[in-house]
Structure 1
């Protein structure tokens, strides 16, 4: 079989590695590649294997607009964000000739993206919902991949390219069943691994009822987005393997979080206030996996606490100022200390509140938050200490205020 010039390389990619938001590069084909492609094009495989039936009609070439606004270009079963040329068709035929497909008449899609002398590609088998590559070119990250991982990458592809091959009525039916199952699981189990809350699932199911049995670009995009959320959770929780994580809090139950080293001493000086925050952090980042619902609960609880601390600190500041006018200079030291701590408590609470309110509300935002702040040795312990500073300072401020009141 004819091959590509040595200076050109086929680069196997996964759908995750393709960023549809990056600017599209213009394809420039040099004479060396043209000659090689001319030989490849003579191979009947290059023409026979890239015809695909879509909705009972064969579409040779065209453009579809992605729901987000970008163009999707297709030529038979080839898709890309680049203008597709005869070079793409010949390269697709070359790749398909080296792929081990379940059957010759399998419904497939070939993704191609030519960047200089590098040809990024992957092949999608729609029947098995699997990602394929040329023989011997399976990416390292995909060796031994689970079924859930293949399906996750499949739906990432469908989200990136929700046409000309659309989702099916069976995809929609199965999605509704899985969502309903997840809703019951989330409603009856605190440690549910469902990536969505019951309220979110109800909203999604209501929206899905508006779709018809025949798919289109909009429906395919929506179905793919929801499947991605479900399958991402399955991959993270090792779904379908002996090591499957069936309760997201099992590690916390078996090994309750506790402070260690210097943090243990600091926590005692802070009246063990950090222990509550350590529990919150551990639940929001259990096994270093973030869930949108748990993250929102984490933010809401913290923000409510910091608002209460700011209000109480202001009351204590006013009380300290009033009391200082009735005390001699010696005992004003305790009041001034109480005043200073109350001010710092309010300021730190405001800072943490402002920071929290500027964070996103999704699992990806939680991952960024914890990854930027956690430590290799102590995990989220430092985060818990920092988040409890306003409360600890308020308690110390109140102690100094009370001492000044009982002093003669």
Structure 2
């Protein structure tokens, strides 16, 4: 209360300076600053002693001209007589300024309840732990390279696929000796001469001379050809050319160039029909038939003729050699009686083209 009274006394004393405006303004500001300093000092002291619950009021005395207004806690007539009447109108109209401070701290029990309430808030959900080793691991089937070497023919072995599927393996192997295995080159033969490859062309003479000896030369050639085709598999290919003075090739579609046929049952049946319709007549021209066979680019050519004349000239032999690179040409020579032993153009043809030569006595062939 002593601070309040001191502030009130200072403010009341300022009223006497109302007759000097500049002095009054300076004194008013100074009084207000002193009041604020006193108020802050009092509040700090009370806070240290735990007495914060008290209220400080600062009242500016207002002069009403009758001398009846007095500061709170003061006595009536506390102001000097005539002071209120001599105050200027500005002081008389000044509003009452009452700063109120009420900072009562919360009791410790309330603060404890708030802390406990924070602790009871929902906590973040914990991430559940998962044992990854409990999941089933898909099995992987490794390929067995040995299955692909099954020979001869095809084989299939059922196996488990990944993720519940089923798979099937299939392998192919090559045969041994005369004949063929699936997936490899075939070994085909004519009168004991063997050629190995995937593509075969048979070039047989059908001139008039092949009808001699009761037709045994041509009949024996047809029989041997059809037997050779049985040594091929469905993946191998072949073509047949019978020639006299011009070549006659097995062509199923006259509007298209001749093609190699597959060695399956269908191809063999077509070949049997074609061979069955061949008969012997006409002259002999070797080169056209041989060059046509080379154009088909086979691996092996079986060339059969009974003609000692006309011979294939040296320039023609060179042409054949230059064009047949990579092609094996086997020569089968028909003759009557034992071989004379002299070197023939057929032997040269086979020697220059990686082939074999054989002589066949037609008189030893069976009758048709």
What is the TM-score of this pair, normalised by structure 2?
0.21
Bigger helix fraction: 1
Bigger strand fraction: 2
Q: Which has the larger radius of gyration?
A: 2
